[in-house]
Structure 1
């Protein structure tokens, strides 16, 4: 599992890189387990001030791996670990993000994306719903915009993602690392204990959603993936054709 997660460190910032380019960094059982374990290790390491979550290849995360999807509970646990981690997690996005990958962005404390990034809630197009990832996203993303993009599956860019609160900043004309530099410098200048306490305050509402709704969302996700529409939608996706409900 560890080979799916690249790890480097520079001045207290641990960079975790999703490195399953053959599957466009889709959330497989192994990738979810590997990232969960890496985050757990970072949380215990006093030498880590903050974590940057990034990727290799042109896709940050393609959503769930339809050939080897993780259990809903495992994905929920990963998102909750990011939110509860007593160290800031910063998403560095230089590629496409789909479906479950958007849940990773919602769980992160800061997210910066380049103009090469695109975003889409594609669940409805394969016959399911964004159940588990709604836990970190509903408290943070503009409700009207979230309704539109979850219902339609439309693709949108980094500027729109920043406008609706899905990410913190679109890098625009800046190099992505240049855009990230002020935030990382600020984290390096902050007291670790103060960072932990501040993050706790900022994520309280998001954690409430996990406490109150995680069980229901796990059950809903499992139920939806077992439905005929989901089986047909996933088959159509893997066969690169439209499902029968497309008009």
Structure 2
């Protein structure tokens, strides 16, 4: 089971103060207690290379409906090509996601260190798609009760990341599926093909408040 860290010395404002902005706050730190407090409030950190650390809560939040997930035929075929594993190659996954050669790469050394520490405490997990002995793709994210907040994904082989997303939905699809929240931050054209939709920030925050009190999925509770 996850180990609860020391409480944060920082207090985040309610997301409503951001108005029409996706950014709610700036500053603070990346200590485990701070990061977990943020996710429980509907926020996530993303560094700004030109200023302080920013804490985001998109006005239109991207989620995938676990209970209503209906994979396309191509996604089902992609999923069948790979074996899904959890937490067997976390360091490889987060560093692949942080590859500076990737367009829009934002994961820096501080983020890697913070989420690795949270992984060691049992809060952050990697979901991996394997093709035999080759890591074909994967993702990592924060699991708090019924919330899984996906942070980033990558692929080394075609459809590797898609298979990891489909595998994650399978892991979350238990008797609490209708109440679980699979957060993907923003909806992109790629994620929309995997079933991602937008919901208002206020709805997202309310769903998270309920979800964090649920039991962890079996795959992340060991």
TM over 0.5: no
Structure number with higher relative contact order (C-alpha < 8 Å, ≥ 6 residues apart) = 2
Bigger Rg, structure 1 or 2: 1
Structure with greater strand percent? 2
| Structure showing the higher helix proportion among its residues | 1
TM-score of the pair, normalised by structure 2: 0.32
